[in-house]
Amino acid sequence: MPRPRRDSEILPAKDRLENAFWELLADREYRKITVTDVVHEAKVNRNSFYYHFADLPELADSAIMHAVADTTAPPVDTTDLDPDDEWRRRCTELLGNPQQRQRLDRLALIAGQHSSPELVDSLKDFGRLTLIRDLQLDPDHLDLKNDLMIDFTVGGMLAILRRWPELQASISVEDLLNEDVAVLAMSVYLSLSKENMLEYWKRIFRNDIHNQHERA
């Protein structure tokens, strides 16, 4: 007799559709991907696709959003941690975790040759919104310096993602620790918890924060 089916072994249709999007984007240009391609790759029917998504761009947005937000690192109490030690631990975790490397591989597709301006804009928007949220900033009341630093961080993220296919085989923890601010910004964004991001952000603006407290 065949082994009874276990639903837990089968990914939900929405997850299979998003995975299919990434598989297809690795194989061909975004403009050449169709809904038919996606449902065939995901092994679902068209009704299932349209139950979850209005069209292909909505699927792409959902896949990008989840890749940006997805992290397997558990929350860490940073009260008694040395920031530099925690920085090294997080970088090591990023490079050694297969799920995180897959996440980088997928995001790199959005910055790669098969992408489109629309996909890049989506990645920028989700990256920016995630960073603002995790830093507990008010998106409607950003001062110029914070606004510029967020744009700079997202720009650094894209710059590294464009080079990720050639970097992934050779990049080391030391590279992440010693490269310029754009690389560090990318690493912070991809690997640090909210608490650590706040800590490093404060270190960037340490003098400003100190001066603001003094004026208060």
Set out the domains of the chain in order of their start, with CATH numbers. Answer: 11-66 (1.10.10), 75-215 (no CATH)
In 3D space, the residue among 160, 154, 200, 201 whose CA is nearest the CA of residue 183 turns out to be: 160
Count helices and strands in the chain by DSSP H and E runs: 12, 0
Rounded Cα–Cα distance for residues 100 and 104 (Å): 6
Alpha-carbon dihedral sign for residues 50, 55, 61, 63:
positive
pLDDT tens, the chain, 216 aa long:
344 334 434 889 999 999 999 999 999 999 999 999 999 999 999 999 999 999 999 999 999 999 988 654 444 444 555 655 665 666 666 666 778 778 888 999 999 999 999 999 999 999 888 878 877 788 888 888 888 888 887 887 888 788 887 777 666 656 655 544 444 445 444 444 444 555 555 554 454 545 555 555
Residue among 175, 125, 170 at smallest CA distance from 150: 125
pTM of the model: 0.70
Cα distance between residue 143 and residue 32, in whole Å:
41
In this prediction, residue 86 carries a pLDDT of 61
Q: What is the pLDDT of residue 99?
A: 80
pLDDT of residue 115: 96
